[in-house]
Chain A
Amino acid sequence: MTDTTIRPVLEAIDVSKHFSVANGIGDAAVVRAVEGVSLRLLPGRIVAVVGESGSGKTTLARLLARFYEPTTGEIRLAGAPVGRTRRARSEKTYRKAVQLIFQDPFGSLNPLHRVRHNLERAIALHHGRMSRQARDERVASLLERVSLVPASDYLDKFPHELSGGQRQRVVIARALAVEPRVLLGDEPISMLDVSIRLEMLNLLDSLRREEGLAILYITHDIASARYLCDDIVVMYAGQMVEAGPKDEVISNPQHPYTKLLVESSPDPHRDVAVDREAIFGDADELGEPPSLIDPPTGCRFHPRCPFAMERCRTTEPPRAVLAEGRWADCWLHEVGRAEELHEAPMTELITRRLSEETR
Chain B
Amino acid sequence: MKYSLFGNGKVTFGVVVLGFFVLLALVGPWITGSVLGLDARTNDISAISAPPSAEHPLGTTQFGQDVLAQVIEGARGSMFVGFLGAIIGTAISVLIGVPAGYFGGTTGNLLNFLTNLFLVMPVLPLIFVIAGYLQGTGLVMIAFIIGVFGWAGGARTLRAQAMSVSNRDFVQAMRMLGESNTRLIFSEVLPHLYGWIASMFLGGLIGAVMAEAGLAFLGVSDSSAISWGTMIQAAQQQSAVLRGLWWWFVPPGLCIALVGTAAALINFGVDELANPKLRSVSRRVVKRTAAHRIAVASEGA
Contact = CB atoms under 8 A, between A and B. Distances in A.
Interface stretch (B14-22, B36-44, B174-182, B219-227): B174-182
B93 to A, nearest CB: 21
B192 A112 contact: yes
Contacts of B188: 110, 113
Nearest to A184: B176
Interface of B: 168-174, 176-179, 188, 191-192
A351 to B, nearest CB: 41
Interface string A303-319: 00000000000000000
Chain A CB count within 10 A is highest, among B171, B174, B177, for B177
Contacts of B169: 102, 104, 107-108
A76 interface: no
Contacts of A65: 176
Contacts of A171: 173
Contact of A95 (B170, B171, B177, B192): B177
A109 B174 CA distance: 9
Contacts of A95: 176-178
A125 B178 contact: yes
B172 A121 contact: no
A112 B168 contact: no
A121 B176 contact: no
Secondary structure dominating the interface of B = helix
Interface in A148-190: 171, 174-175, 178
A349 B174 CA distance: 48
B179 A102 contact: no
A99 interface: yes
A92 interface: yes
Nearest to B190: A112
A213 B173 CA distance: 19
B168, B174, B178, B191 interface centre (most CB from chain A within 10 Å): B178
Interface residues of A, number: 25
Nearest to B168: A107
A100 B171 CA distance: 13
Interface string A108-133: 11111100000001100110000000
Given A104-B169, A108-B169, A121 B191 contact: no
Given A107-B168, A107-B170, A122-B177, 7 more contacts: A65-B176, A92-B178, A95-B176, A102-B172, A110-B188, A112-B192, A174-B173
Interface string A59-88: 000000101000000000000000000000
A96 interface: yes
A99 B176 contact: yes
A321 to B, nearest CB: 35
8 contacts: A65-B176, A91-B178, A95-B176, A102-B172, A107-B168, A110-B174, A171-B173, A174-B173
Contact of A174 (B172, B177, B191, B192): B177
Nearest to A171: B173
B86 to A, nearest CB: 24
A121 B174 contact: yes
B177 A67 contact: no
Nearest to B165: A110
Contacts of B172: 67, 102, 108
A37 to B, nearest CB: 21
Closest 10 CB pairs of A and B: A107-B169, A95-B178, A110-B170, A108-B169, A108-B173, A112-B191, A125-B178, A102-B169, A100-B176, A122-B177
B292 to A, nearest CB: 27
A109 B172 CA distance: 10
B170 A109 contact: yes
Contacts of B170: 107-111
A221 B173 CA distance: 24
A330 to B, nearest CB: 36
A107 B164 CA distance: 13
Contacts of B178: 91-92, 95-96, 125-126, 178
Given A110-B188, A112-B191, A178 B177 contact: yes
B109 to A, nearest CB: 16
B108 to A, nearest CB: 17
Nearest to A126: B178
A358 B176 CA distance: 52
Contacts of B179: 121, 125
A125 B171 CA distance: 15
A178 B178 CA distance: 10
B17 to A, nearest CB: 31
Nearest to A103: B169
Contacts of B173: 100, 102, 108-109, 171, 174
A310 to B, nearest CB: 45
B188 to A, nearest CB: 6
Nearest to A107: B169
A91 B191 CA distance: 26
A171 B177 CA distance: 11
B74 to A, nearest CB: 40
